[in-house]
Amino acid sequence: MSKLQDKSELNFSSARLLHDKNFYPPVAHCSYYGCFQLIKHVWLNSFKKTDDDLKALIDSLKKGKANQTGSHEVLINQISTYIKSKKEVDYRDFNSSILQLKKLRTTSDYDDVDFDCTKSSKCLQLSEIIRPILKKY
């Protein structure tokens, strides 16, 4: 198991533990980053790419767009495109779920709003959809 897979599993375990202890806001963070670490694992191991490849891709995309493109957006798009080429249903489930989870993580981390049990549970549910899809690839 790669170090990213290990970190991912720790983040998912942490998310469950935090939820069970009623510490809801950090559940979104741990759930999202657990998924992102698996995304990066796929990039490095299944795609046989490097961090330098990612940086070069981001740099090339920045030149073609007015907006900056970050590593999260680029990797999610790369993995989504790959999954779509393999299995449409996995793509729909992955893409929808990761975008929802990313939005919940942003809300939890940056917005001045309550992040309750319902939102925390949704993060766990979304990560349970995303993880098995990523593990296929």
Each residue's pLDDT tens digit, 70-99:
899 999 999 999 999 999 999 999 999 999
**33-37, 58-62, 104-108: segment of lowest average pLDDT:** 58-62
Instruction: Please give the C-alpha separations between residue 103 and each of 29, 50, 86, in angstroms, as whole numbers.
Output: 11, 27, 26
CA-to-CA distance for 32 and 110, rounded, in angstroms?
A: 14
- Name the 3-class secondary structure at 114: coil
* CA angle (62, 64, 66) in 5-degree steps: 70
Residues 6+ apart with CB under 8 A from 14: 26, 30
| CA within 13 Å, CB half, 20 | 6
Residue 61's pLDDT is what? 87
